[in-house]
Amino acid sequence: MTKENSIKIGDVFLLGNHRLACGDCRDKKLIAKLFAKEKAKLLCQDPPYGIAIVESRENFSSTKNKRKPIANDHLQSEEEYIRFTVDSLEAIKPFLERKNSVYIFNADKMIFALKIGMEKAGFKFTQLIIWVKNHSIIGRMDYLPQHELIAYGWFGQYDFLRSKDKSVLVFPRPSKSKAHPTMKPLGLLRRIILNSSKIGDVVFD
């Protein structure tokens, strides 16, 4: 592939053992095309938080570090974010294994809307996991956040493969994240994935 504009919405690419879909996670036809006859053991989702995170940090960083706004991360009301959550989970629901696990990253502001959205879509919201970073994030809040929240649950039945783990996971945030302002450390993702899936299982991100 030589031209950027040769990629279009609705395309699905096979990258080794992985598949990459270009489009909206709420698009049921695209999700069906992505999965074909497969089903996912684990949903590990880092959706837009609905808080305009890039815009909220304006004037706190140098001009050379300016980022483009994240798609669909415009400021949303709780009602809008509930609908966004329901739509995205309804699209993936038919493609989850009977026993599955769900991890959804989010921020303090929308965590209650996320919980309501999960429950409206028929998912179990069972616990909050806290990712503690090595330093805080500059912003407009009185208490600078040094954590992110992860909603943990499942649809139908769950299958936790480790005997026990802790609800507070401490991992340094990536020192550089040019591709995305809220990039997650690989160690954190590895911990989550191995807690709830085995080699050969399908993981949907």
CATH number of the domain bearing residue 85 = 3.40.50.150
- The torsion angle over the Cα atoms of residues 205, 20, 161 and 94, rounded to 10 degrees, is 80
3 Rama class: left (phi>0) / alpha (psi -120 to 50) / beta: beta
| Residue 165 contacts residue 195 (beta carbons within 8 Å) | yes
Query: What does residue 99 show for φ and ψ, rounded to 5 degrees?
Result: -105, 125
Looking at the fold, whether 109 and 14 belong to one and the same domain comes out as no
Mean pLDDT of the chain: 87
- Count CB neighbours of 163 within 10 A: 5
Domain span holding position 12: 1-37
Mean pLDDT of the 167-196 span: 88
Q: Which amino acid does the sequence have at 197?
A: S
Domain count of the chain?
A: 2
CA distance 50 to 136: 20
Mark whether 13 and 99 lie in a shared domain: no
Residues 176 and 140 in one domain: yes
Q: Which pLDDT tens digit goes with each residue over 70-101?
A: 555 567 889 999 999 999 999 999 999 999 99
Task: Please tell me whether residues 130 and 90 are part of one structural domain.
Answer: yes
Strands 203-204 and 40-45 turn out to be parallel
Task: Between 10 and 65, name the one with better pLDDT.
Answer: 10
pTM of the model: 0.85
> What is the maximal distance between C-alpha atoms in the chain?
49
My answer on whether 66 and 103 are in the same domain is yes
Residues 135, 57 share a domain: yes
Mean pLDDT value of segment 102-111: 94
pLDDT recorded at residue 154: 98
Amino acid code (one letter) for 57: R
- Tell me, what's the pLDDT at 136? 87
3-class DSSP assignment, residue 143: coil
Rounded Cα gap, residues 82 and 87, in angstroms: 9
Look at residue 53 in the predicted model and tell me its pLDDT. 52
- Structure tokens given for 147: 């954590």
Contact between 79 and 137 under an 8 Å Cβ cutoff? The reply is: no
Average pLDDT over residues 156-168: 89
Helix residue ranges, H only, the chain: 28-35, 53-56, 78-92, 111-120, 186-196
Band (pLDDT 50/70/90 cuts) for residue 11 is very high
Same domain, 47 and 123: yes
